[in-house]
Amino acid sequence: MDIAGRPSQEIYDVVGIGFGPSNMSLAIALEEHEASSPQQPIRCHFFERQPTFGWHRNMLLPSTTMQISFLKDLATFRNPMSRFSFISYLHASDRLVQFVNNQDFFPTRQEFHQYLEWAAADLSDRVTYGAEVTSIRPRTAAGPRTPDLLEIAVRRGDGTTSVVTARNVAISTGLVPRLPEGVTSDERVWHSSQFLSRFHAQDPAGLKNVLVVGAGQSAAEITRFLYDSLPHAQVTAVIPSYGYSVADDTPFANQVFDPSAVDEYYFGTERARDSFWRYHRNTNYSVVDADVIRALYQRSYDEQVRGTSRLHFRNLTRVAEVDQGGAATRVVLHSLLDDRTEEVSVDALVFATGYDGLDPARLLGDFDRYFLRDEAGRHRVTRDYRLVTASDLTCGIYLQGGTEHTHGLTSSLLSNIAIRSGEIADSIVLRRTERELGSSCPVQAASTAA
């Protein structure tokens, strides 16, 4: 069946699952390959479950900025001449001169989202929105399992389903919001990924006591936003550490996000990999930009000067229990400072507690048994981001995310998105060429991570 549910014999070179920045970047890399080799077109299509393009819409808070340079866009590091670069977007928007005059490497999150929307609009012919991929399986319709073909089941918003066939799949379904065990989101309990839509659905006058849980960038930004937006409210930041820790964005530390660092991590020893995480987690995980930390501290200090108190920081504190029944949400806080607990009633409880990584097993189902895992039970992945097979399968399952254990810190980040997507595109093209020439593909055997 084709993407509209009609009978079809078309076989795609690659089907992309999800159409966020990572698979957008892959679509661009494939298009630019086709432009350079028009005699070898790449047949590709992408499926996105959202009805339209959107990227972290609920965290597009006023004045928040990107934490990476504008040059780490969808294409520039791979192809500085790409028409999909952030600079091309500025030129098309007639804002290039003004952006340069602003003298800032870090655009606002709102502007970067507009850039992504601009790029997505130019790629609309190869993506189907409102379509969720529910499973991936080896093709068996013609009899025995076909080792180089995959069947991808797609469900649309109207409930209809269809199956498309491809030689490769690129999974980029994003991260899964993480809430404490036993806690579910509702009208008063939110994850940061829901923040703006949930906030705007409330009567601000009814938000008199709000708690924000977390120690990272999102937690600090939400705390600042709530304090500024609700001048009548008590705003409490529940921080598991003793205050916010600053993100290390100094030049030498930032080298862990360089494309070359992926090779050093992938081919490094276990001791080297451990050192990457031990010494450089503070470049991205549970840390906050210095300007946001200073802004919150300034607000707290101004309150001391004025003799007021509605911004509170509960350091070294955990949420021990959440009671979501009744007319109010009750939260039990446990302080590690004095080992005491305290119960408070809140009008909104925001968990900025991060995300769980991509797990391809959810889509693979029983098919997952054909792919190798390491001693820790994690998928083995080739250097070109492809799952290692345990059989004669030659079809490719590529991961855009979920490879931190093999490829390091940038596996799901924007920092290396252009190079990562380019390497996946190159791998797809190389393996197709080898198949057409009748040769075997040496890439997987040559570089696999345990």
Q: Residue 142 — pLDDT band, cuts 50, 70, 90?
A: low
* Mean model confidence pLDDT for the chain: 92
233-285, pLDDT tens digit by residue? 999 999 999 999 999 999 999 999 999 999 999 999 999 999 999 999 999 98
Please report the sign of the dihedral spanned by the C-alpha atoms of residue 278, residue 280, residue 286, residue 292. Answer: positive
pLDDT at 362 over 50: yes
Using CA atoms in the order 363, 367, 372, 375, what is the torsion angle rounded to 10 degrees? 70
Average pLDDT rounded to a whole number, residues 361-390: 95
Residues 359-369, mean pLDDT to the nearest whole number = 94
Nearest to 422 by CA among 36, 47, 22: 22
Q: What are phi and psi of 202, to 5 degrees?
A: -100, 155
- Cα–Cα–Cα angle for 307, 309, 315, nearest 5°? 130
Q: Is the pLDDT of residue 149 over 90?
A: yes
pLDDT category of residue 384 using cuts at 50, 70 and 90: very high
Q: What pLDDT band is residue 145 in, cutting at 50, 70 and 90?
A: low
User: What is the pTM (predicted TM-score) of this model?
Assistant: 0.93
The predicted-structure confidence for 183-242, as pLDDT tens digits, reads as follows 999 999 999 999 999 999 999 999 999 999 999 999 999 999 999 999 999 999 999 999
pLDDT of amino acid 446: 43
* pLDDT value at 50 more than 80: yes
pLDDT band at 63 (very low <50, low <70, confident <90, very high): confident
Stronger pLDDT, 436 or 214, i.e. the higher one: 214
Please write the tens of the pLDDT for every residue from 320-348: 999 998 778 999 999 999 999 999 999 99
Of 26-30, 174-178, 202-206, 399-403, the one with minimum mean pLDDT is 174-178
pLDDT tens-place string over residues 106-140: 999 999 999 999 999 999 999 999 999 999 999 87
